[in-house]
A = this chain, B = another copy of it.
């Protein structure tokens, strides 16, 4: 399905990057933040993206963004651009946004393909919604169109989430899909709809953004709006969690949680995670007054004073309340730049202005994402200093951050060990 990617990157025999990384890993203290070079070196960035992150699946959007046949969206990660289309038979396809003629980007943002055809704006080569080359303008009659389609990429849809792989040998994704069904099926995310999207660029390494994403130790100092509403990190969190279990049972709902995320994923399988977390007592949703601002989602019989988390891969994170949900999709751009695409969803049949007001739905994660941008950028600036040294994670509250970095180091070590001899030299 996936063409062999181009291996003609400029060879760099003088950078024994494998050795450098192996030495750094040998010096890395356990349960401490990473050594400087992991956050700042462009060579390590290149290595980790190509050899670690690109083995994982990327959430590029939600199927409601391309509900109609002929619609497409574009998602960028690293130097890659991905087109995702809805074909006439309803199928969703993913492909590289690189024309096979001269290499131009074909689509620029989302849109609707006129005549169900993607036409390269440069020389008008045209492709079907599945990426197959339909018309190679001005090429000879006997031109081999079959082998000049857009590079097709593996794609899976789960509870509406569109997951794409750029790898030649993608990780097994079935368990991660069962996981989202088991927890987000209750909210019927498959039929939810996207109502807003922000793209926020952090001037920071992607790993610093993710270390921030997976711990709530910073929520108290940095996110007062969040902390007023959520039960995460409260002294009585354990008790609130127990009450939530009972509340959920009383509603006769079945949420399947699991933890096959970083370090816990079986070899060759995409990592995933699902959890249920209580809101503060009396709070029903993450809104300015704690009351729902949109219709109840899925088959929930009542607002349950809880939210559900789902992760797939290291960099795709999701949250849903009973009335709305949010997608956090992190996209590294370079060693010191990362884009967070934050996407809000509500029940699929909700009407704006009647059933919900967009700004009431987006309020919390607008202010919280803006605060995280500042935090993560200040973290990156500090890490650049000669006086930065790895610091100790606070356990247990930063345990997911600790797991994330430990997973990263193990994945890097494995990548170094499996380098072809010439590259590892």
Using a CB–CB cutoff of 8 Å, the interface residues on chain A facing chain B are 3, 5-6, 8-11, 13-16, 20, 23-24, 27, 33, 35-37, 41, 43-44, 79-81, 96-106, 108, 119-124, 136-139, 143, 148, 151, 166, 211, 217-218, 220-222, 375, 378-379, 381-394, 397
Contact = CB atoms under 8 A, between A and B. Distances in A.
Contacts of A391: 99-103, 148
A220 B138 CA distance: 12
A386 B10 contact: no
A9 B36 contact: yes
Contact of A101 (B10, B108, B138, B392): B392
Contact of A98 (B10, B138, B382): B382
Contacts of A100: 389, 391
A381 B148 CA distance: 19
A132 B3 CA distance: 57
A23 B33 CA distance: 40
A256 to B, nearest CB: 30
A251 to B, nearest CB: 33
A23 B11 contact: yes
Contacts of A9: 36-37, 386
Contact of A96 (B123, B221, B385): B385
Contacts of A8: 24, 27, 35-37
A224 to B, nearest CB: 12
Contact of A222 (B16, B102, B121, B388): B121
A25 to B, nearest CB: 12
26 contacts: A6-B388, A6-B389, A8-B35, A9-B386, A14-B14, A14-B15, A80-B386, A80-B387, A81-B382, A96-B385, A97-B385, A98-B382, A98-B383, A98-B385, A101-B394, A102-B379, A102-B393, A103-B383, A103-B385, A103-B390, A108-B378, A121-B222, A122-B221, A138-B217, A139-B392, A148-B392
